[in-house]
């Protein structure tokens, strides 16, 4: 397994990139630990596949270097980098049996046949295809084929890293959950460095120790699920993680006081910014509560979601979401307070303040 260093990586698909928007990857400069389980999370088109293909060697970056354990592999092929990659859609050898598909990467590396047999059988169990070992892959359904692709990625235990690019897209929801748990278990057991691309926050947050959030060709935050929830470094992380996402409202700050429209509040730990600056204030719906004294809101709608309810309201002419437990009474003239410890302050979309 390997520690992966992304050294000032930039990538443009076009020949003569001029502006930042010509880059599919703007600047990625990070180090990913050996044996970590990383999820690359972001909306469609933000550069996840581009970054993954640069790590695997399918794509050469326009700028920057990739290092595995400190060794420059930028010029090396996928095979020389010793990486297993599982794609969004199945890649299997149709004319081979399920068994031979799984055995292929091992036989290719001259693993003794007894060992091949042991590992293939174990993998067949994991992907739940033991009963189909002798079938030709051709006749299988798309999700069975995708399980073979996953199995082929996981069957080797000598890889530097395993990369997954939205691998569960074609898998049915129940099996998705099962396979994700299996991946997590295999990660614990073998300690592979795993990078798992998804646009689904639940998938990312349940799979990974560290979630890498991408937005418009940049990594905007790498953090544990709790860090992403509590201290989103960028307003995009606030919107994208959480359901509903963080409330972000334009405000002005002056010393400890923040004004939002005609209302104002005092901050506990105000970041030191010059006088009367335009900022954005971020507060998650979970950290707003109804109170006798507080900011006036107008309620538009209440959605019951089991033991909690989402209150959709209007505050200073803008929508705001509040999450309350089901037994909370919504007053006739509702007022709210923000938990002061949970307020985040943003300037130009980036969080400001201690260890921002
Ligand atoms: P994601 O996997 O997050 O959906 P991609 O890495 O596939 O995003 O794409 C990032 C950006 O690069 C998008 O704007 C996409 O249109 C562009 N792009 C991806 N592949 C190519 C390509 N082969 N040629 C030109 N542009 C591409
Ligand atoms: Mg993609």
pLDDT tens profile 186-239: 888 888 899 999 999 989 988 898 999 999 999 999 999 999 999 999 999 999
Taking the mean position of all CA atoms in its chain, how far away is CA 193?
15
Distance 165 CA to ligand 1 centre (A): 13
Bigger pLDDT: 305 or 236? 236
- The angle that helices 98-108 and 142-154 make with each other, rounded to 10 degrees, is 20
For residue 262, pLDDT beyond 90? yes
For residue 306, pLDDT beyond 70? yes
For residue range 66-122, list pLDDT tens digits in order. Answer: 999 999 999 999 989 999 999 988 999 999 999 999 999 999 999 999 999 999 999
pLDDT for position 46: 96
The pLDDT confidence band at residue 355, using thresholds 50, 70 and 90, is low
| Nearest ligand to the C-alpha atom of residue 40 | 1
Which of 24, 52, 85, 165 should be mutated for ligand 1, with most atoms under 8 A from CB? 24
Distance 24 CA to ligand 1 centre (A): 6
| Nearest ligand to the C-alpha atom of residue 54 | 1
**Pocket flag, ligand 1, residue 49 (CB < 6 Å):** yes
Which is it for the CA torsion 44, 94, 92, 190, positive or negative? positive
Extract the tokens encoding 171. Answer: 């898998």
**Pocket flag, ligand 1, residue 43 (CB < 6 Å):** no
Q: What is the C-alpha separation between 55 and 57, in angstroms, rounded?
A: 6
**Pocket flag, ligand 1, residue 46 (CB < 6 Å):** yes
Q: What is the C-alpha separation between 129 and 180, in angstroms, rounded?
A: 16
Q: What is the C-alpha separation between 249 and 67, in angstroms, rounded?
A: 41
Distance 41 CA to ligand 2 centre (A): 10
| Nearest ligand to the C-alpha atom of residue 48 | 1
254's CB contacts (< 8 A; 6+ apart) are 275, 276, 277
**Pocket flag, ligand 1, residue 48 (CB < 6 Å):** yes
Determine the average pLDDT of the residues in 292-313.
94
The pLDDT confidence band at residue 295, using thresholds 50, 70 and 90, is very high
Read off the DSSP letter of residue 12. Answer: -
The pLDDT confidence band at residue 1, using thresholds 50, 70 and 90, is confident
Q: In Å, how far are 24, 74, 80, 97, 342 from 77, measured between CA atoms?
A: 21, 8, 5, 28, 46
Q: What is the C-alpha separation between 196 and 205, in angstroms, rounded?
A: 11
In the chain, which residue ranges form alpha helices assigned H by DSSP? 48-56, 78-81, 98-108, 113-126, 142-154, 173-190, 201-207, 225-230, 235-240
Determine the average pLDDT of the residues in 241-265.
93
Domains along the chain with CATH numbers: 4-235 (3.40.50.300), 243-352 (no CATH)
Distance 76 CA to ligand 2 centre (A): 22
Q: What is the mean pLDDT of the chain?
A: 92
For residue 275, pLDDT beyond 80? no
pLDDT for position 270: 78
**Pocket flag, ligand 1, residue 144 (CB < 6 Å):** no
Place of tokens 């990538």: 11
Distance 266 CA to ligand 2 centre (A): 43
**Pocket flag, ligand 1, residue 47 (CB < 6 Å):** yes
E strands in 1-62: 4-11, 25-32, 37-41
pLDDT for position 315: 97
Q: What is the C-alpha separation between 334 and 35, in angstroms, rounded?
A: 50
Q: What is the C-alpha separation between 69 and 71, in angstroms, rounded?
A: 6
Extract the tokens encoding 353. Answer: 């303040």
| Nearest ligand to the C-alpha atom of residue 23 | 1
For residue 307, pLDDT beyond 70? yes
Distance 192 CA to ligand 2 centre (A): 22
For residue range 129-180, list pLDDT tens digits in order. Answer: 999 999 999 989 988 999 999 999 999 888 899 999 999 888 888 888 888 8
Distance 151 CA to ligand 1 centre (A): 27
Nearest residue CA, atom 25 of ligand 1?
Answer: 13
Burial class of residue 150, CB neighbours in 10 A (0-12, 13-18, 19+): buried
Give yes or no for a cis peptide into 125 (omega within 30° of 0): no
Determine the average pLDDT of the residues in 295-303.
96
């Amino acid at each position: 397994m390997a520690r992966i260093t992304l050294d000032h990586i930039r990538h443009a698909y076009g020949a003569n990139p001029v502006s930042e928007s010509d880059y599919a990857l703007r600047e990625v400069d990070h180090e990913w630990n050996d044996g970590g389980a990383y999820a690359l999370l972001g909306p469609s088109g933000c550069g996840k596949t581009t970054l993954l293909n640069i790590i695997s060697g399918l794509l050469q970056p326009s700028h920057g270097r990739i290092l595995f354990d400190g060794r420059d592999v930028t010029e090396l092929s996928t095979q020389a980098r010793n990486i297993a990659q599982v794609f969004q859609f199945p890649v299997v050898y149709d004319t081979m049996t399920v068994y031979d598909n799984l055995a292929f990467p091992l036989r290719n590396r001259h693993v003794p046949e007894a060992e091949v047999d042991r590992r293939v059988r174990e993998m067949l169990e994991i992907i739940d295809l033991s009963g189909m070992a002798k079938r030709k892959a051709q006749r299988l359904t798309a999700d069975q084929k995708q399980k073979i692709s996953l199995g082929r990625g996981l069957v080797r235990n000598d890889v530097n890293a395993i990369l997954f690019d939205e691998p569960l897209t074609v898998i049915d929801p129940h099996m998705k959950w099962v396979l994700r748990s299996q991946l997590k278990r295999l990660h614990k057991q073998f300690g592979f460095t795993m990078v798992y691309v998804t646009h689904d926050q639940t998938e990312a947050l349940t799979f990974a120790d560290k979630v890498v959030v991408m937005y418009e060709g940049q990594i905007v935050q790498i953090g544990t699920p709790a860090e992403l929830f509590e201290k989103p470094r960028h307003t995009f992380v606030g919107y994208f993680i959480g359901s509903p996402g963080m409330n972000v409202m334009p405000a002005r700050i002056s010393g400890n006081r923040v004004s939002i429209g005609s209302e104002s509040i005092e901050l506990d730990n105000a970041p030191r910014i010059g006088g009367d600056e335009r900022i954005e204030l971020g507060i998650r719906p979970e950290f707003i509560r109804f109170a006798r004294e507080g900011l006036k809101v107008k309620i538009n709608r209440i959605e019951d979601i089991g033991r909690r309810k989402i209150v959709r309201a209007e505050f200073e002419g803008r929508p705001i979401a509040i999450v309350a437990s089901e037994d909370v009474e919504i007053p006739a003239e509702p007022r709210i307070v923000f938990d002061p410890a949970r307020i985040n302050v943003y300037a130009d979309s980036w969080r400001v303040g201690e260890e921002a």
